[in-house]
Structure 1
């Protein structure tokens, strides 16, 4: 019998929650990536679920807002009281590394899902009343669901990064002007020290615009 404890990272979970309480703006960076179930403790899940609710309502997720929400619904003691929230907040210096902590927590969550799927597969394998092709198909589906969820999370994460980058570029449009007004209106900008070749039918057949920056 395997007596190993399931993979968890309590410190990272606490750092995430502390970051949310310290800097409510941190929610926008993690809300589309981090799921409630990724937290291993029910108290942590409840705190994060409240933060999600407040965020979706356009409200702050600071200490006062979260504690008030919980107290109004007689849930404050379920997470250890105001003292527990204050403890999470006091342990957090900043929310700068919250993205990294989210990846650590999601990693452990995915591993727990794999373990759970493994138990299901073992049980299916022992059940000789189930046809073999059904056993194989069910086993594949268990792992496939986990893979799809992780892929979806990565896509959302990369999309958020790309969106932020485009917003930053758009604020400085163009970053490195070409000096050609009509072209600058169409492009975000160019990186310095690069050779850029733009091919377009407007330049005529086999005619390219070459820019040295």
Structure 2
């Protein structure tokens, strides 16, 4: 009998209702019925699904449709669109009249709307939590815990985004204050730029740095140096990082930035080796083989010491979807901060939902997702992209916007499109027979273009297009400013 005692039902916990406020819902609906202008105070953020009571949701939905059609919403105009229910001896038309007659003022309409909205978010949060627990208990064999965590993070961030009240018109004086604040931050940054400096002087002069919330596409054919220039810029930004502690204990970036790199093609070790080569001046193949002198080893050691404290974070996971990438980027910003993000490269990402063979549609989802992520995180995102082979069939192989692979959406969603072009790459593959006159001409052309690269700004929403000349050291894959003839020291004859 002692064992049976364990089966005795325990006292039930009191029933917990989902958070709601019927009085606020009634007050808001009544205020709108009395004065339709009250709707304008909540229409930006409130939806029928935010109401707890189903009849209230239906009333708000009908009023929304009528008002947006330019009609009026009164107890008389909306009653024909509502179900005929018995509400405990009160009909729906009678209930609507009661809502209107008990309404007092529209002054608090916005506050009532926010209360309804916040309670709806809390109910959604409870639902996500319950589903997360149930899914963890009953997960299918093929679903990993990490996939569950990423899905939960995605849903929570989606809920957080839905909970924002920003948007709509703002006072011009507020916009002016933001402009002055931006100018003040630019004054404190290296080079006095409105955006984050790339560390490449001529490129910064053309672009004003990398602007927050921009999607920057860097495109080129294989061998042009897309990954190299993105890595160079990422390193320069991380190296220039300087932060100030705020009153609330957080660190605010004053110069440079905290950098995240999604390297879908290369391992973290390969990327680190490339950066080491760039900064030490020792070719990466020599570093990998250990074929270095004592002096070079010293330079390598100095470069490692200088780089160890850099705010540079690398994710080398291959085969990421745009949803997974967004989740990891949000996590990085939350845990360490984030000021600049690199994705190497676009075509290695997959869409959240499989589109079958329609790669163009899938790429549209990816670029739209990256642009939305740049706005959400308020950081510039630099995504690398391959170019189609049609470049190779032209005499002038400088890329154009039409060369963007699986194109359309890339050009449309990007705020900036940069093309990397190195004439030397094409020229060195067309070497004539040595000793001929053609070879002498070829050699003269090679001398002219040796170590030079072009960054073609094919599109820029807030600045000019054009071409920037850069220096490129192929053996260490490093881009740098090109020394101008005017500034070179005099040569001794």
Q: Is TM-score (shorter-chain normalized) higher than 0.5? A: yes
CA contact 2:26–2:99 (8 Å) conserved in 1: yes
Q: Could you say what secondary structure the match of 1:3 adopts? A: coil
The equivalent of 2:135 in structure 1 is 124
How far apart are 1:30 and its partner, in Å?
Answer: 1.3
2-side partners of 1:45 and 1:2: how far apart?
28
The equivalent of 1:91 in structure 2 is 102
- 1:134-213 equivalent positions in 2, closer than 5 A: 134-151=147-164, 154-156=165-167, 159-160=168-169, 162=170, 165=171
Q: Deviations over 1:117-139 (max 9, x none)?
A: 00111012113422111111111
How far apart are 1:3 and its partner, in Å?
Answer: 3.0
Partner residue of 1:62 out of 53, 57, 74: 74
1-side partners of 2:154 and 2:52: how far apart?
24
How far apart are 1:69 and its partner, in Å?
Answer: 3.8
CA contact 2:31–2:103 (8 Å) conserved in 1: yes
Higher RCO by CA contacts (8 Å cutoff, separation 6 or greater): 1
Verify: 1:34 aligned to 2:42, yes or no: no
The equivalent of 2:353 in structure 1 is none
Q: Could you say what secondary structure the match of 1:155 adopts? A: coil
Q: What is the root-mean-square deviation in Å for CA atoms of aligned residues?
A: 2.2
Change (3 A) 1:68 1:86: same
More helix by share: 1
How far apart are 1:78 and its partner, in Å?
Answer: 7.3
The equivalent of 2:255 in structure 1 is none
CA contact 2:118–2:163 (8 Å) conserved in 1: no
Q: Could you say what secondary structure the match of 2:166 adopts? A: helix
The equivalent of 2:21 in structure 1 is 9
The equivalent of 1:49 in structure 2 is 61
1-side partners of 2:160 and 2:14: how far apart?
25
Q: Deviations over 1:128-154 (max 9, x none)?
A: 422111111111122111111112xx1
How far apart are 1:50 and its partner, in Å?
Answer: 0.4
The equivalent of 1:18 in structure 2 is 30
2-side partners of 1:33 and 1:64: how far apart?
26
CA contact 1:13–1:105 (8 Å) conserved in 2: yes
1-side partners of 2:103 and 2:117: how far apart?
20
1-side partners of 2:110 and 2:149: how far apart?
37
Q: Which runs of 4+ in 1 moved over 3 A?
A: 76-80
2-side partners of 1:139 and 1:105: how far apart?
24
CA contact 1:22–1:63 (8 Å) conserved in 2: no
Partner residue of 1:106 out of 101, 114, 117: 117
Bigger Rg, structure 1 or 2 = 2
CA contact 2:29–2:60 (8 Å) conserved in 1: yes
Normalised to the residue count of structure 2, the TM-score between the two structures is 0.30
Q: Deviations over 1:101-126 (max 9, x none)?
A: 01111110000000000011101211
The equivalent of 2:85 in structure 1 is 77
Change (3 A) 1:119 1:2: farther
CA contact 1:29–1:99 (8 Å) conserved in 2: yes
Q: Could you say what secondary structure the match of 1:64 adopts? A: helix
More strand by share: 2
Change (3 A) 1:144 1:2: farther
Unmatched tracts of structure 1, length 5 or more: 170-187, 189-213
2-side partners of 1:63 and 1:24: how far apart?
12
Q: Deviations over 1:40-92 (max 9, x none)?
A: 0110011000001101110011222212443xxxx243774211001111111
2-side partners of 1:4 and 1:44: how far apart?
21
2-side partners of 1:78 and 1:61: how far apart?
22
